[in-house]
Amino acid sequence: MWGKSPVIKFLSTLLLFLTLEVISISFISSESIFQQAKISGVVIKLKSVMDGLASGVKYYFGLQNVNEMLVRENLRLLRENERLKAFTNTDVDSLSLKISPSENFSYIPAKIIANSTNKLHNYLILNKGRVHGVRKDMGVISAVGVVGVISAVSDKYSYVISFLNINQSVSAMIKSSGTFGPMIWEGRRSDYAMLKEIPYHIDFMVGDTVVTSGFSSMFPPDIPLGTIRKSSVTKGSYNNIQVKLFQNFNSLHYVNIVVNNNKDELDFIQRGSNGSVR
């Protein structure tokens, strides 16, 4: 009965075939140098593929270290830029007295641990908080744009209202003309924003760069934001300008929190504008 079973016959045939294949390969490899080389070549090729995959995995995980190095370098450049701005804005008297101008801004590097981009009110969570010097209403930037504003802070973390929020805006400026206005996100594509309230008589061109104006205690001036794509006239006297953002919010991992070193004094002046300042 067992001898007539088709399953048993198939398994027996398969086993015999595999056994003969192994024997044949061993005879071929032992008798022919050419065949030995060919078989060895297949083995080497398979090994190289596996080594390539392993190298790719190591490279992928090594990117985190590269990113962290780039963040540190970006922070160094930001600080150097602030020092140069402070130096060029120093008058002759202070230079003659050798007074070192203080930096207007400093920065706290942070890593993003949560980031939403597909809502109308998007947010981020950063791995830096009160113990690192982070405070509410500090700006958050990257090398290529404004990211958002700190809304809440715990000891070790901070909650950021993303620029990708229909209630958020930033004071932006057309670099070629110095004309500024509010730039907002309209809740559509994450790579476009709208620069509003630009007077109709202002000249600009497609491709002109848009930067932060500096008319805010949260963000330093001249942070690149994007380029002009097109515009439309509203209310007969203003341009609404579409801006293609430099920042890709879907690939954002590291940011810098902006510390305005003069914020206390600026807040005091602003509070005093409602009464008398002594």
SS3 of 240-276: the string is: EEEEEECCCHHHCCEEEEEEECCHHHHHHHHHHCCCC
- Each residue's pLDDT tens digit, 37-67: 555 455 444 544 554 555 455 445 555 555 6
pLDDT band (50, 70, 90) for residue 271: confident
Cβ atoms of 200 and 249 within 8 Å: the answer is no
Q: Average model confidence (pLDDT) for the chain?
A: 78
The superfamily CATH assigns to domain 107-272 is: Rod shape-determining protein MreC, domain 1 (2.40.10.340)
* Burial class of residue 225 in the structure, from the number of CB atoms within 10 Å of its CB (0-12 exposed, 13-18 middle, 19+ buried): buried
Lowest mean per-residue pLDDT among 64-68, 207-211, 232-236, 239-243: 64-68
- Each residue's pLDDT tens digit, 205-231: 999 999 999 998 899 999 999 999 999
Q: How far apart are CA 155 and CA 130, in angstroms?
A: 5
pLDDT band (50, 70, 90) for residue 98: very low
- Each residue's pLDDT tens digit, 158-212: 999 999 999 999 999 999 999 999 999 999 999 999 999 999 999 999 999 999 9
On the question of pLDDT at 89 being above 60, the answer is no
pLDDT band (50, 70, 90) for residue 1: very low
Retrieve residue 72's tokens: 């540190």
Mean pLDDT, rounded, for 16-24: 69
Lowest mean per-residue pLDDT among 25-39, 42-56, 239-253: 42-56
Lowest mean per-residue pLDDT among 3-17, 61-75, 116-130: 61-75
pLDDT at 27: 59
Count H helices and E strands in the chain, helices first. 4, 12
On the question of pLDDT at 123 being above 80, the answer is yes
pLDDT band (50, 70, 90) for residue 101: very low
Question: In the chain, helix, strand, coil percent, each to 5?
Answer: 40, 30, 30
How many Cβ atoms sit within 10 Å of the Cβ of residue 68?
A: 14
Q: Which of 82, 83, 101 is nearest to 91 (CA)?
A: 101
